[in-house]
Amino acid sequence: MKINFIDLQSQYEAYKKEIDSEVLEVFSSAQFIGGEKLNKLEKSLAIYTGSKHAIGCSSGTDALLLALMALDIGYNDEVITTPFTFIATAEVIAFLGAKPVFVDIEPDTYNIDVTKIRAAITDRTKAIIPVSLYGQCADMDVINDIAKEYKLPVIEDACQSFGATYNGKKSCNLSTIGCTSFFPSKPLGAYGDGGAIFTNDDDLATKMRMLLNHGQNERYKHKYIGINGRLDAVQAAILNVKLKYFDQEVQAREEIGSRYSDLLDDSENTQVITPKIKEGNTSVYAQYSIRVKDREAMIKRCAAAEIPTAVHYPVPLHLQEAFEYLNYNKGDFPVSEEVATQIMSLPMSPYLSETEQDFIIQTIKGK
């Protein structure tokens, strides 16, 4: 049975007529940067999340970078985040000359452990970046309360959680700035790199719009040192189509994720640990990730059945060569380190059929 890890082809076939038409309109207009398609997308994203401002940009990584730049974070500053995430979260902190300060994760949600944040705050701390990993938001109310106490901004790394909710509010509209990614494999994916920044702060929104366009406040007049971080019109056109159907896909993701958990939770013989969704949260299951003690054996079993798998993420950031200069050691973040040896992701998309899912589950159970 041929199973796709993420079934982008079926998604394209479902929306092909509309996507092709929208893209051809961009080609016909020859307006490839900015313009009507981007304006429409930004308005729709703001309405969807409930944010005052939604700003399209070139990637989720650049969204995080622009957020930090807008907050004037730079050399010798410290930013608190998690070591169990994709490198981009900490990479942008280091890129600006600031120091990533890691805090370990919860063993069930894999998001930052809010009980350990206060101990990491120093007089050099300038922001907190919680990651809403695998499609579920971190405990943002607690994080925001801590940040308010210390007068710190919070940047939600929502690159995997666009469409998720936390206590009835949408991810990306839970903190000072929210950042998301439209990389093709994300729950809302473009056909290339793309991202967005969200805020309710007028001044930050104005500044981030300038920063992503070389710091310009008007053509050839530059108020800031910025970057080329624009979202192109072709990607905006594609996202406009996909956003129309996104709630249907989110519902399908939730149903498939819940079904995985319901049917795998009784697999005591394989000692599978399924993801836990906290009360008050919904998840968009950017990945459906389980933990197994003998991951390599399970990956081999799946491969023999032609089931694709992935590992998000095999090496925590504090043990990456790129961050050796931070002088963290093995054992500093034991939960992250243990999860990194056991985590593995199974096929997940709104187009995964029950037949395919049953086959995957039976294989995991060894039946």
Q: Is the pTM of this model over 0.75?
A: yes
Of 244, 273, 288, the position where a domain reaches its end is 244
Q: Hunting for tokens 């159970």 — which residue is that?
A: 365
**β-strand partners of 221:** 218
Which of 244, 268, 303 is where one domain is finished?
244
CATH for 333 = 3.90.1150.10
Angle at 57 between CA 54 and CA 59, to 5 degrees: 120
In angstroms, the CA 285 to CA 251 distance is 10
Structural domain contains residue 2? no
Q: Which residues contact 68 (CB under 8 A, 6 or more apart)?
A: 79, 92, 93, 96, 98, 127, 155
Residues 251 and 274 in one domain: yes
Full residue range of the structural domain in which residue 314 is found: 247-365
Q: Is residue 54 classed as helix, strand or coil in its secondary structure?
A: strand
pLDDT per position as a tens digit, 288-341: 999 999 999 999 999 999 999 999 999 999 999 999 999 999 999 999 999 999
CATH number at residue 28: 3.40.640.10
Q: What are the pLDDT digits (tens) for 66-123?
A: 999 999 999 999 999 999 999 999 999 999 999 999 999 999 999 999 999 999 999 9
Q: Is residue 59 a part of any domain in this protein? A: yes
Please, are residues 211 and 224 in contact by the beta-carbon 8 Å criterion? yes
Q: Is residue 308 part of a domain?
A: yes
Side-chain-facing half-sphere of 314: CA atoms under 13 Å: 5
Same domain flag for 154 and 32: yes
Are 76 and 97 found together in one domain? yes
**With contact defined as beta carbons under 8 Å apart, do 124 and 76 qualify?**
yes
Task: Please report whether residue 190 resides in a domain.
Answer: yes
- How many helices, marked H, and strands, marked E, lie in the chain? 11, 14
User: Is there a single domain that holds both residue 217 and residue 252?
Assistant: no
Same domain (yes/no): 226, 312: no
Smallest Cα–Cα separation from 366: which of 304, 312, 319?
304
For residues 251 and 237, membership in a common domain is answered with no
Asked if 90 contacts 313 with a C-beta cutoff of 8 angstroms, the reply is no
Same domain for 49 and 73?
Answer: yes
Does 150 share its domain with 275?
A: no
| Domain finish residue from 244, 263, 291 | 244
- pLDDT at residue 355, rounded to an integer: 98
Q: Which pLDDT score, from 0 to 100, does residue 239 have?
A: 98
In the chain, the percentage of residues whose pLDDT exceeds 70 is 99
* Same domain for 230 and 257: no
- Looking at 286-325, list the stretches that DSSP marks H as alpha helix, in order from N- to C-terminal side: 295-304
Same domain flag for 167 and 74? yes
In a domain, 212, yes or no: yes
Task: Give residue 267's pLDDT.
Answer: 56
Whether 346 shows a pLDDT value over 70: the answer reads: yes
The two structure tokens encoding residue 218: 């008007």
Report the domain count for the chain. 2
Average pLDDT in the 17-29 region? 97
Residue 3 belongs to a domain: no
173/54 same-domain check: yes
Confidence (pLDDT) at 1: 81
Residues 80 and 196 in one domain: yes
Q: Are 363 and 305 in contact (CB under 8 A)?
A: yes
> What pLDDT was estimated at residue 76?
94
